[in-house]
């Protein structure tokens, strides 16, 4: 059976108010965060210093553009003009085809409206077969 003393202890434990208590002292937690911040700042400073030293070793000649002779520049310009002319011709051909298609659609719409008008004015002819 259940002992009476055990149930009394359980009852007092369940009705008590509990709060969380930090396991480490405040000073230790603040010191830990301060050390982490100082080490992170030192690591970042070391990385930036290494990057600047690496950049200082490179010569400034690498940033200069290579000289371009006038003949190759003129050749590239002529190629660009030819490509532009071809593009313009292709666009003109597509526009001509689109205009022709639009004209055909307009003509067919006019014929369709004419035929619809003809079928409405035409008197109904009685045939032997029933109309569906």
User: 78 and 46: one domain?
Assistant: no
Say how far apart CA 120 and CA 115 lie, in whole Å: 9
Mean pLDDT of the chain: 83
| Residue 63 lies inside a defined structural domain of this protein | no
- 35 within a domain of the structure (yes/no): yes
Positive/negative CA dihedral, 120, 126, 128, 130: positive
User: Could you identify the residue written with the tokens 């313009």?
Assistant: 88
How many whole angstroms separate alpha carbon 61 and alpha carbon 47?
25
Query: Do the domain assignments include residue 3?
Result: no
Q: Identify whether 39 is part of a domain.
A: yes
Identify the H or E element spanning 47: helix 26-57
103-120 in b/e form (b: 16+ CB < 10 A) is eeeeeeeeeeeeeeeeee
| Residues 29/22, Cβ–Cβ less than 8 Å | yes
Instruction: Please work out, in degrees rounded to the nearest 5, the angle formed at the alpha carbon of residue 60 by the alpha carbons of 59 and 61.
Output: 90
Q: What's the average model confidence in pLDDT over 15-33?
A: 85
Q: What is the pLDDT of residues 3-16, one digit of tens each?
A: 555 566 676 777 77
On whether residue 89 sits in a domain, the answer given is: yes
Domain that holds residue 35: 24-54
Q: Tell me the per-residue pLDDT of 62-102, one tens digit each, with 9 for 90 and over.
A: 666 777 788 888 999 999 999 999 999 999 999 999 999 99
Q: What is the mean pLDDT of residues 22-51?
A: 93
Quote the number of domains for the chain.
Answer: 2
Whether residue 101 lies inside any domain: the answer is yes
Tokens for 55? 């950049």
Residue 11 lies in a domain: no
Residues 76 and 48 in one domain: no
Read off the pLDDT band of 129 (50, 70, 90).
low
78 and 49 share one domain: no
Is 127 a domain residue? no
């Amino acid at each position: 059976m259940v002992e009476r003393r055990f149930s009394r202890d359980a009852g007092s434990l369940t009705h008590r108010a509990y709060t969380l208590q930090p396991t480490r002292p405040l000073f230790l937690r603040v010191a830990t965060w301060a050390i982490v911040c100082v080490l992170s700042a030192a690591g970042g400073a070391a990385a930036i210093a290494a990057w600047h030293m690496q950049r200082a070793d490179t010569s400034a000649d690498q940033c200069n553009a290579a000289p371009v002779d006038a003949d190759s520049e003129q050749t590239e310009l002529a190629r660009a003009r030819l490509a532009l002319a071809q593009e313009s011709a292709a666009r003109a051909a597509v526009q001509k085809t689109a205009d022709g298609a639009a004209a055909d659609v307009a003509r067919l719409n006019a014929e369709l409206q004419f035929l619809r008008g003809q079928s409405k004015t035409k008197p109904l002819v009685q045939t032997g077969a029933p109309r569906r």
